[in-house]
Amino acid sequence: MQEIETREFGQIEIKDDDIIEFPKGLPGFPEEDEFVLLPLNDQSPFIIMQSVNEPGLAFVTVEPSTILDGYDFELADSTQDMLQLESHEDVGVLLIATIKGDIDDITVNLAAPVVFNINERLGRQIILDDENYPVKYRLEPEPAEEGVS
């Protein structure tokens, strides 16, 4: 167990097993090699990907299946090797969201999914370079119905 400082949830306690290693960091953040995934809340589809070592660094992420159908791509050998992937059952995928000033202005980066080996706790953001998958895919969120918090 260790305590870490987070951007959205203040100080929290995490287990060593919660930490996902990103041996190469992320594009733009090459030094950030450890993250934890923290659901925003019980109802929300959003998951906060919080840097373990940099309290101010957190990404809003979402599972592809919650925002669109038919999102698929082939994993390069280099990615499979780096993530030590042996079976597709070990693969997890999250997409990074960008939220501008207005909370309803949300886009999701389909061009660069974060791919995980769930068992080995390894992650890497890959770049697809596929014109069907834009960097800014707009979401059309709606407020939850009255009474649902």
Q: Which stretch binds other proteins (CB under 8 A): 15-23, 85-93, 109-117?
A: 109-117
Is residue 93 a contact partner of residue 63, using CB atoms and an 8 Å limit?
yes
Collapsing DSSP states into helix, strand and coil, what is residue 95?
strand
Closest distance of CB 132 from other proteins, Å: 6
**Contact between 136 and other proteins per CB under 8 A:** yes
Q: Does 3 bind other proteins (CB under 8 A)?
A: no
Q: Which of 124, 97, 118 is nearest to 26 (CA)?
A: 124
DSSP, collapsed to helix, strand or coil, labels residue 46 as strand
Distance CA 38, CA 8 (A): 10
Provide, rounded to whole angstroms, the least separation between the CB of residue 83 and other proteins: 12
Region near other proteins per CB under 8 A, out of 13-21, 91-99, 115-123: 91-99
Residue labelled with tokens 């840097």:
51
Neighbouring C-beta atoms of residue 1, cutoff 10 Å: 7
For residues 57-86, which are near other proteins according to CB under 8 A?
A: 57-60, 62, 66-71, 76-78, 81-82
Q: Report how far residue 96's alpha carbon sits from residue 35's, in angstroms, rounded to the nearest whole number.
A: 13
16 binds other proteins (CB under 8 A): no
Is 125 a binding residue for other proteins by CB under 8 A? The answer is yes
Per DSSP, what are the bridge partners of residue 10? 6
Contact between 53 and other proteins by CB under 8 A: the answer reads no
Q: SS3 of 78, please?
A: helix
Q: Which residues bind other proteins (CB under 8 A)?
A: 8, 26-29, 40-41, 43-46, 57-60, 62, 66-71, 76-78, 81-82, 96-101, 103-104, 106, 109, 111-112, 125, 127, 129, 132, 135-136, 139-144, 148-149
